[in-house]
Amino acid sequence: MHRDEIKKAQSEVKFALLNSDRETLSCIGQTGHGFLIKSLRKPAWFQLCGLTLHTPPARETALLQGDSYADKHQVEMDMNRSYFHSKTHPFRLRKQRSRLSKVFDIIFKTHPALCYYQGLHDIAQVLLLTLSFSHALRLLEHLIFFRLRDFLLPSLEPTLHQLELMMHIIKLRDPELSSELVKLGVQNYFALSWLITWFSHDIEDFGAICRLFDFFIATHPLTVVYACAQLVLDNSLELKHMIRNGSGADNVYTFLCKLPQQLDVETLIRHTCSLCRTLPFPKLDLDSCSISKYSCLRTKGESWELANNSDGPMLFRMHCEDLKASKSITKDKYNSLLPLDLRVSGRSMVAAITVIGIGIVASQYVTSQNPS
């Protein structure tokens, strides 16, 4: 964008903010230019989440005293891997990681039923690089209960069901591609980090990550699943070409994993909006993919109405009870299936599924090299 275009775009955002025009803000986040700079993103994100910028006093002192929490060890391990895209002075990096650790101390001591997952730190660090500490804490807490709560349950099943839903959307839009991927035995784990980190783990360009956050915060929680499906659909021709030319599941899986590295964010946003119009949320059969009635994907209303239309913490507790009653496989049970040298601490989702995915691809590779 040229300088004059940027000024005009900023003026549009400022005018919408001044008038608390959430519908216009939502349009800007979806089909416009996004919110452009930090000083505009903060009020825009808060308005679109139905929050005010008047943050209550921080709870740091009381919460940082006393016992640890269940996933503290895993969080500490992830802190050492956080901000890995950031080229900053070691002193500043330590300070950033300390703030990130403090955010999780507060969140998980306040809500001990939440199960930390690897990838949540990717989302949290984007918020901390964009907002003040207190505002980042407040927004993360909101996102956890109204957009990410399916990933913080004591079971992996709700996350796996969202990946199944992504494949279902691909099947509805391109049955041929879906059939080829199923026939080849390509697992849907390639999109795990896209889904649970809003692509922030897979993209190095911080501006592009923030633009995607503008988009996802401006829309319904289902939009992230649609975006994951659309990224695959946008590469349909190349995938079909690879498969028809004899590429095995391992090569196709690797190709899919690397798709965000060449991602044109604006094209993905535009195409995802088109997909949402072609296949509206109400027409999507969530039951076919076992999406729970307590899932955040079931929430009705605009982005800023989510907190008013549902009680996120209560739905989280009810979802936990429902999983207990159904005796679903817990994250710890998945972990117990792994060899001792590959087990992960706490309830680490990305590592567990990554190991499973690598094992599947490796077995597929061996089979392709030694056909019967």
pLDDT digits (tens, 9 = 90+) for 291-323: 999 999 999 888 888 877 778 999 999 999 999
Which of 96, 124, 151 is a domain's end point? 151
- What average pLDDT does the chain have? 84
Same domain, 212 and 103: no
Same domain, 247 and 305: yes
pLDDT reading at 339 higher than 60: no
Give the pLDDT score at 306. 81
pLDDT reading at 50 higher than 50: yes
Same domain, 346 and 364: yes
In a domain, 162, yes or no: yes
pLDDT reading at 251 higher than 50: yes
Give the pLDDT score at 349. 52
Which of 109, 134, 151 is a domain's end point? 151
Q: Which domain holds residue 207?
A: 154-369
pLDDT reading at 65 higher than 80: no
Give the pLDDT score at 94. 82
Percent of the chain predicted with pLDDT > 90: 63
Say how far apart CA 86 and CA 99 lie, in whole Å. 15
Give the pLDDT score at 335. 47
Among 86-95, 140-149, 158-167, the minimum mean pLDDT is found in 86-95
Same domain, 139 and 173: no
CATH number for 174: 1.10.472.80
- Backbone φ and ψ for 82, nearest 5 degrees, come out as -75, 160
Retrieve residue 145's tokens: 């209960």
Same domain, 123 and 269: no
In a domain, 231, yes or no: yes
> Whole-prediction pTM value?
0.86
Same domain, 192 and 292: yes
Same domain, 243 and 360: yes
Same domain, 129 and 66: yes
Same domain, 116 and 137: yes
pLDDT digits (tens, 9 = 90+) for 68-97: 777 777 887 777 767 666 666 677 778 888
CATH number for 140: 1.10.8.1310
Q: Which residues contact 142 (CB under 8 A, 6 or more apart)?
A: 49, 51, 307, 312
Q: How confident is the model at residue 371 (pLDDT cuts 50, 70, 90)?
A: very low
Retrieve residue 181's tokens: 């991927």
Domain total in the chain? 3
Contact 348, 156 (CB under 8 A): no
Same domain, 20 and 101: no
Same domain, 313 and 288: yes
In a domain, 262, yes or no: yes
Same domain, 181 and 233: yes
Could you tell me which residue, 257 or 59, shows the higher pLDDT?
257
In a domain, 19, yes or no: yes
Contact 68, 98 (CB under 8 A): no
pLDDT digits (tens, 9 = 90+) for 202-217: 998 999 999 999 999 9
